[in-house]
Structure 1
Amino acid sequence: MAIHGDQHTTLYGTAELERVLDAMAATLSGKLHGVERITLVGVLRRGAPLADRLLKRLYEHLPVATIERLDLSIKRYADDLTLLHPQTQLTEQAEHASIDLTNQVVVLVDDVLYFGFSLFKASQYLIGKGASKLLTVVLVDRACASLPIHADVCGLTLQVAAGQIVECHVPPYEPMFQIVLVRP
């Protein structure tokens, strides 16, 4: 754990998080054993590169599976948890308008499960597109979701004070892969 001044504390560095992702991929592959059609969905921003990292690992565990990748743009809060929209906004990209997920297992990946608004909105959307089964995967669960949503695969559970911010730094958005606790 590295402390950067009195405001930012690095809780997990790159090497630790790579091991966490390895464990997450192993757990997820167990849940996907025997499944032939999988769609891996990253929640933009940081859920998308996490989904890419998991995809590489999943192919090691599930070499015969067909895994499609797509991303969803969902926004309610800024990175500093400032409210941007009163309701969670999902922007449907034109190429997703006609997507059919019937008979597919969909794996939804995000960086942090906090209140659950993003995962709930994305889940509704993907079920509406016909997903036969939906698994949610998060790097960090803050264990305080206010909606009926949970992570099927969770890398880390961090219970921190309500005013503190858990930042997942994920390349290409940040230079280092790490989890930082910010005390405002």
Structure 2
Amino acid sequence: MAERTLILDSRQIEQKIQRIAHQIHEHTFKEKEIVVVGVQFKGVEFARRLVEVLRNISALEIELYTIGFEKDKPLRDEVRFEGDVAHMKNKVVFLVDDVINSGRTLIYAAKFLLDASPKQLKTATLVDRIHRRFPIHADFVGLTLSTNLKEHVEVDLTSKEHGVYLE
């Protein structure tokens, strides 16, 4: 079994979520409404928690949607989108995932969302591994982590002792 190292504990994760939510609030201070789209599966929980904080610190109307597809075969799999695509037109949309590594997942999700003609499309992640193979970047980041390609970052936001681990 691979060695597992704690990178962020539950308190640190909450601090990162609070900071990103405040940054998003500052970025959208002129907006009345935004859309947050969480990437299935772990990105959805991260998005849900961001939205919870945003609703506590701002008067923004926030729609929370989800997007998913087969990550290994994104072009051959149908996009699963839960939300109102038409509602994103001329809105600031935040695409949220727990970890960004190669950028593949976000670039395919962004392609789908751009067809809805948003006013802006921004990205947010808890952990940015910076091993890009696709031209996408993270606008709002909890932690930038330099890793080698063999290492795996595991985000656990659902158990009692949630944390971010490097394996």
Which ranges of structure 2 fall in alignment gaps of 5 or more residues?
none
- For normalisation by structure 2, the TM-score amounts to 0.91
User: Who is 2:9 aligned against?
Assistant: 13
RMSD value, Cα: 2.0
Q: How many residues align?
A: 167
User: Who is 1:70 aligned against?
Assistant: 65
Task: Say if 1:109 and 1:136, in contact at 8 Å, map to a contact too.
Answer: yes
Task: Say if 1:75 and 1:118, in contact at 8 Å, map to a contact too.
Answer: no
Structure 2 counterpart of 1:44, which letter? Q
- Which has the higher Rg, Structure 1 or Structure 2? 1
Task: Say if 1:142 and 1:159, in contact at 8 Å, map to a contact too.
Answer: yes
**Aligned match of 2:94 in 107, 112, 126?**
107
Establish whether residue 27 from structure 1 lines up as the match of residue 15 from structure 2: no
- For normalisation by structure 1, the TM-score amounts to 0.83
Give the distance between the partners of 1:129 and 1:70, measured in 2 at CA. 13
Give the distance between the partners of 1:180 and 1:32, measured in 2 at CA. 31
Structure 1 counterpart of 2:165, which letter? V
Task: Say if 1:99 and 1:129, in contact at 8 Å, map to a contact too.
Answer: yes
Task: Say if 2:66 and 2:83, in contact at 8 Å, map to a contact too.
Answer: no
User: Who is 2:161 aligned against?
Assistant: 176
Structure 2 counterpart of 1:50, which letter? F
Task: Say if 1:100 and 1:130, in contact at 8 Å, map to a contact too.
Answer: no
Displacement of 1:137 in angstroms is: 0.3
Displacement of 1:139 in angstroms is: 0.3
Task: Say if 1:88 and 1:121, in contact at 8 Å, map to a contact too.
Answer: no
Which ranges of structure 1 fall in alignment gaps of 5 or more residues?
77-83
